[in-house]
Amino acid sequence: MLIVACGILGLLVGSFLNVVVARVPDGRSVVRPPSACPACGVRIAPRDNVPVLSWLLLRGRARCCGAPIPVRYPLVEAGTAVAFGAVAAWLGPVAVLPAFLFLAAVSIALALVDIDTFRLPFVIVAPSYPVAAVLLGGASLVERDNGSALRALVGGAALWLLYRLLHAVYPRGMGYGDVRLAGVLGMYLGWLGWSALVTGAFFGFVVGGLGGTVVVVAGRGSLKTHIPYGPYMLVGAWLGAVWGPSVAGAYLRAAGL
């Protein structure tokens, strides 16, 4: 029931994320005006704004003018539902679940915006700090685990500092949005544990390196080609969150430590 409930919530959140991804890069409000057809400007009726289902019933075309509706919209909605369900299945009914559902939503929005615009908007990343602090701190209070809250603070500061140093050494290789995002990811990884923090940071660089290699090998760019690094950071952080302790434990056993 928890997985299903989170999946339904993900559908609704995914519909909102489509608005965020479309409007935030242009500096527009995500609240007003109401959603309208991008082709003719007619306001979208509630019955045509049901996540995934409306797109299927309309066969991917606007009711008002017949313009095609990008398949990305239902994919984002369905993808967010799957992501929320997966997070619920991973964590279960624990106090920190809302915090990681929020991170899942922010991850999807930031990844898509970064791919589209090569930017990680300040108006999304900056508010994520106080939201993460409240949600993670609240979970620590509920679980009476002051250590996790302290690790979140240290982890956020440590990963922010690491990326800030990398940005200072080679600013052309990394945007400052990546530095801001590193602090948020560090809070979540630190809350989970030191192994999650270390492996999450490491996986971010590994995934980014692999992604850059694929771009070069596929002939889509060179070593100097600018690529959106935020999605790689996010994938690495989630890998570290889910599998970090297992990977760290396997490494320590292999090293005889």
The pLDDT tens digits for 72-110 are 999 999 999 999 999 999 999 999 999 999 999 999 999
Tokens of 180: 């801001």
Coil/strand/helix, residue 236: helix
Residues 118 and 47: beta-carbon distance below 8 Å: no
117 and 234, same structural domain?
yes
163 and 88, same structural domain?
no
Tokens of 138: 């609240």
**Domain boundary pick from 93, 115, 150:** 93
Residues 110 and 234: beta-carbon distance below 8 Å: yes
81 and 190, same structural domain?
no
Q: Model pTM?
A: 0.93
Q: How many domains does the chain have?
A: 2
Q: According to the model, what pLDDT value does residue 214 have?
A: 83
Coil/strand/helix, residue 31: coil
52 and 110, same structural domain?
no
Of 122-136, 174-188, 205-219, the range with the lowest mean pLDDT is 205-219
Range of the domain at 30: 1-93
219 and 193, same structural domain?
yes
192 and 136, same structural domain?
yes
Cα(6)–Cα(105) distance, integer angstroms: 12
**Domain boundary pick from 74, 93, 112:** 93
